[in-house]
Structure 1
Amino acid sequence: MDLLLFAIGFIGLIVGVILLLIAAIRKVPKKKAGMITGVSFVLFVAGISMTPVDETEQSNAPATALKQDSQQEAKKAEEQEAKEVTKKKEEEEKAAEEQRVAKEKVAAEKKAAEEELAKKKAEEQRLLAEKKAAEEKVTAEKAKGEKDKTDRLKKAGTASSLGAIGLTPVQLVKTIDGDTIKIVFEGKEQNVRYLLIDTPETNHPRIGKQPFGEEAKERNRALVNGGKLEIEFDIGQRTDKYGRLLAYVYVDGKSVNETLVEEGLARVAYVYPPNTRHLDPYEKAQVRAKAKKIGIWSVENYATHSGFNGGKSTTPSSGSSNSGSSGSGGSSNTTPPPATNSAPASGGTEFFQNCTELRKKYPNGVPKGHPAYQAKMDRDKDDFACER
């Protein structure tokens, strides 16, 4: 019924509109046309209002709207959660990537440091090896040089026959005794103690003047003033504890040390390796002097391996010793005092040539103030000489 009314009203409305148009065109009375239109409109409105509506739909409309809103909210929440999960995942991946890069960087730096350390150690080992090789080379060359020199000396028979090695010209200042002179060396005056030989004393504070001491001094003076003076150092230390130079002395290329031994005015002594370059010829010269019984060898037991026995010479004579050249065969006419282990000196003192002789009488040495005490025998300067 409602639909019928709606249809009738709609049709009436259409008819009314058409009638109005026709009335306007054909000049139909407006009043009549308006009435038709009004009736048709009323019917149309009535039909619309009478159209049946589903009550269930009306009652469920708010719930449906609420459900739709909830679904939209849930969808939005899911989308937001998905975005957050995606963002968190991206952040975690980024953090993991940064951590991986950092670990790789640390590992690379550690590897580089280890390589640098290994390179440094290898360089240090290389330098040490080169240094060791250089030192071994120098040592080998030095040993070879010494061996070659020794071989040459042995082949020649004596060191003097080959001539000295590394002679240094010096200027003589004065002759001190038979085995010591003063020279100008490197711009200053210095005493030179002859290597490998020993002559009797001429002015010792305790011993005084020993037999053949003056003869050795005068012969030494004559030799060193006889030509070009030169000295030669050995490979060991160049000075003694008194600051004296230790050297071999030459005049016009001839050994003064060997000449004094050859003429019986010096004995071979103070042999301290490695300063032994000319020991062999000196010992041979001493054997010849002993065989001839000249100078210090003319008196039995006066010159020994440990020194000169006896104290002051009672009849020193400047002309009593052979002062000629090596091998002249002259001998001394001076007779020294009988050889003893100790000789009482003035003032109640006792003299011993060295600690070996002193210990024969005083096995444990002597303290400072004892009549036999000598400063030269107190090498450790503890005021006790020749202690064991």
Structure 2
Amino acid sequence: MGLFLAGIGFISIIIGFIGFVILFIMKKPKKAAVILVVVGIVLFIIGAIITPLDELGEQDQPEEAVEGQKNVIETEKQETTPVILPASIEKTVQEAKPVVEQPTAVDPPTKSSGTTNLLAVTLVQIIDGDTIKIMYNGKEQNVRYLLIDTPETNHPQLGKQPFGDEAKQRNIELIHSGKLEIEFDIGQRYDKYDRLLAYIYVDGKSVQETLLEEGLARVAYVYPPNIRYLDTYEKAQAKAKEQKLGIWSIENYATDTGFNTDKVANEKPVTPKAEKTTPERAAPVQQPVVAPVPQAIETEWFQNCTELRKKYPNGVPAGHPAYQSKMDRDGDNFACEQ
């Protein structure tokens, strides 16, 4: 307010002074100009006095107002400052909070499920012509070959069937000939005996297909959807059947339901008929037959498996000149296998 009055007074002084000069020059009465100057001076003085009082009033606010502002500030600080509890109380509060159970981790499915990816595995034992034992997911597990069946070698009820030993021996040779890998199909992965169901490969070549081609296995246990290579296997079986290889060399031995062991057992060996001799002619005197001297079987001797693998990296099967039973610790008729 003081500044406003002082400003009006200052302007009045300027206007009155200018009017006084003009009236003086024109030689006219100068009373009005003098009055305007006086009024301006008075207003200016009043404004100059009031201005410092206004500023002092703004500085001297009541203590109640200041205290109210402090209370507001303190309240805002309390709302934004975190509350620190004693350790014992904090522990009790934490224990009282409901515990949310996290879902238990589930083993991820094998990446090859439903694909044609091959998984490299380690061989533990060869059981027979269509079953092996491997290390899988950190433990030993039996693997049943998908879509084929070979004759038994030591079954509790069926015993030993024709071509069972041959199928197992060929399986041993194939498995030990290179890198062992398995492949799963899109269906179930275990049978009722908790055996893995898989396709078997060595250096990328199908062991199942080889056994079928050589007449040592039949197509069997066809359970969709695990039929990825059914057509291929049936073609391989048809070739062996046409050539009467292995199990197909015995008529009606391999059937759609298994191997007809009774049929083989009931077959009587064919014996040649004895030639008739005329009574007039005496039987010729037989000369003593001298048995041929057996030739010495060539053998190779190695002190241990380390020495043997220098020449035969994958080991040797039973019947090989370098085979020694002491080197066949797992009794699978294959010595020093990797």
Which bin holds the TM-score, normalised by the shorter protein? Answer: 0.3 to 0.5
* TM-score, reference length from structure 1: 0.39
Structure with bigger gyration radius? 1
Q: Which has the higher helix share?
A: 1
